[in-house]
Amino acid sequence: MITVWVAAVSLLLAVLPTPAAANAGYTKTVGNVLIYLGIIPAEIVRGLHSSGHTERTMHGGTPKGSDEYHVTIALFDAKTGERISRADVRARVAEIGMYGEEKELQPMEIAGTETFGNYFPMQGDGPFRIYVTIRLPGRSEAISTRFEHWHR
């Protein structure tokens, strides 16, 4: 069952999400860039693959804690729908009222396409604010947005 769920999440990030996903608050359009957010528990990544598999070693290895989550961002050109694979992406994950932790979202390949991700601690049910900053080649200004997430 876990394998099916992770495969579904991977495929969701590999293609343009449906309008229902867009309405769920996990997509934003900023500066002609479609930004899609995906979040899965690190324990799913830990349990999915053998110890030598790429997903187990990315971002310095899968965290062992139960309150660790893999935050993934997929980027698309809002006009053409083409995936954006060259970008510097950073995220800060925080409970409301706290600063949280900021990290680079590292380029990674999911379902044959490039996305950006890293692990973050998220204790409790939330809400959590996820601040995303994107720098694209050829653009002088960064693109910034914020998502809210609850573990439900």
Residue 31 has pLDDT above 90, yes or no: yes
Amino acid at 33: V
Global model pTM greater than 0.85:
no
67 and 121 Cβ atoms separated by less than 8 Å: yes
Residue 72 has pLDDT above 90, yes or no: yes
User: CB within 8 A of 123, min separation 6: which ones?
Assistant: 67, 95
Amino acid at 91: A
How would you classify the pairing of strands 128-135 and 143-149?
Answer: antiparallel
pLDDT digits (tens, 9 = 90+) for 92-136: 999 988 999 999 999 988 778 889 999 999 988 889 999 999 999
Residue 23 has pLDDT above 90, yes or no: no
Beta bridge mates, 107 = 116
Q: Quick one: tokens of 64?
A: 């062992």
pLDDT reported for residue 61: 56
Structural domains in the chain, sorted by start: 2-149 (2.60.40.3340)
Q: In three state form, how does the secondary structure of the chain look? A: CHHHHHHHHHHHHHCCCCHHHHHCCCEEEECCEEEEEEEEEHHHHHHHCCCCCHHHHHHHCCCCCCCEEEEEEEEEECCCCCECCCCEEEEEEEECCCCCEEEEEEEEEECCEEEEEEEEECCCCCCEEEEEEEECCCCCCCEEEEEEECCC
